Amino acid sequence: MYPPLQERTKAAVIDTILINSLMIVTGDLLQWIPNPSPTLKAALFLLYFVLYEPLLVSMRGGTIGHALAGISIRRLHYTTEKINFFTALWRFAIKIILGWISVITYFTNKEGRMIHDKLSGAIVVYAKDVK
């Protein structure tokens, strides 16, 4: 059995709250630095928004939200293996570009694979099922 859409939504909400909180705290901390570099601001944005999911998915099999929702992102035919960083980055880019269109594709197959999962060769499974 594959995780329902509610678990994936829960993970996304948790991650959104976490990333927004990090950005707010970082913005407050940057106010203490006189004339913070635009490069520093851009690097932090890149780290939080663009690299958060791909790094954690490739290193841990999921984000903090995924872990709290009890789900994991794995390779389609090798569910004991995590996807690599470049695959995770590709998956994230597709998800961001397609937005809600990707969510609609959840309902088109029994595994609940969204289009970004299909195009990246990934599948979402329950974390407890990963050995």
pLDDT tens digits, one per residue of 46-60 = 889 899 999 999 999
**Does pLDDT of 42 surpass 80?**
yes
Per-residue pLDDT at 58? 97
At 41 the pLDDT is 84
Q: How far is CA 33 from CA 25, 94, 98, 105, in A?
A: 13, 36, 37, 45
The band of 33, judged by pLDDT with boundaries at 50, 70 and 90, is confident
Residue 96 has pLDDT above 80, yes or no: yes
- State residue 31's pLDDT score: 87
Q: What is the pLDDT of residue 51?
A: 94
Q: Burial, 50: exposed, middle or buried (Cβ in 10 Å; 0-12, 13-18, 19+)?
A: middle
Are the C-beta atoms of residues 54 and 85 closer than 8 Å to each other?
yes
Neighbours of 79 (CB within 10 A): 16
pLDDT score, position 87: 97
At residue 27, the pLDDT reads 87
Amino acid at 124: V
pLDDT the model gives residue 131: 65
Q: Is 126 a residue whose pLDDT tops 70?
A: yes
